[in-house]
Amino acid sequence: MTTPWDDWNHILKLDPDKELPDGVTYGDLCATGTDAIEVGGTMGITEENMSAVIEACAEHDVALYQEPSNPEVVLEDDALDGYLIPTVFNAGSPFWITEAHKEWVRLEGDLDWERTTTEAYIVMNPEADVAELTEANCDLGADDVAAYATVAEHMFGQEIVYVEYSGTLGDEGVVEAAAHATDESTLFYGGGIHDYDSAYSMAQHADVIVVGDLAHDEGIEAVRETVEAANDA
């Protein structure tokens, strides 16, 4: 079975709780050459700010996905190509593995399953908001991450395995181990990508790199560099 992300190299993740640099618009970011826009964040996310970013991106010709941090901010919007739903495999609390997902189904009933895909997150930066929120065990070696990736693909059938270092550039050896452990799943990597070289190094191993803070901190040209690196790798 083919998926949209089979053909992706680069995702730009936009956080509705963060501002853009002066003079930068969402349209500018959509035109950087990224394969997809993912709208989501961990803290300060509301229906209102999520909707504002989705609406601003919807008029541009780029794949658009929502990554909701909890069921209360999921938006039913035809402009979205789909929903990427994190399930944190190394979470300390079961809420972030299955409980939040169960609540979403309980509250909403019949979801749009054709447009909904889970992402098997492996959170690796203990200082990141997502690690604190999910009480993730980040004290993992490359072999642990590889094992999680294998479990995600072969036991749980996850189409996406996501090694997440949110806020810091990760260990290339860990990402390489995850890449070797996955056969059919698409490997996403996110965290600390800030220029061509950092993007290229991670794109050597991950199928798709996810760039987030750079858009909010630096703007268009910096993002374009990472797109170029992802396509060159």
State the average pLDDT over residues 111-139.
95
* pTM for the model: 0.95
The whole-number pLDDT of residue 110 equals 78
Mean pLDDT for all residues in the chain:
94
Better-scored residue on pLDDT, 73 or 195: 195
What's the pLDDT band for 75 if we cut at 50, 70, 90?
A: confident
Query: Which of these, 184, 188, 173, lies nearest to 143 by C-alpha position?
Result: 173
Annotated binding site for Mg(2+): 15, 42
Q: What percent of the chain has pLDDT over 90?
A: 86
Confidence (pLDDT) at 111: 84
pLDDT of residue 184: 96
What pLDDT does 42 receive?
78
Q: Residue 41 pLDDT more than 90? A: no
Q: Is the pLDDT of residue 109 over 80?
A: no
pLDDT score of 27 more than 80: yes
- Residue 212 banded pLDDT, cuts 50, 70, 90: very high
Which pLDDT does position 60 carry in this prediction? 95
The binding site consists of 13, 15, 42, 162-167, 192, 212-213
What the chain holds in terms of domains, given with CATH numbers, is 6-232 (3.20.20.390)
Binding residues for sn-glycerol 1-phosphate: 13, 162-167, 192, 212-213
Q: Provide the pLDDT for residue 73.
A: 85
Angle at 74 between CA 73 and CA 75, to 5 degrees: 110
207 pLDDT above the threshold of 80:
yes
Q: Compute the average pLDDT of residues 71-85.
A: 90
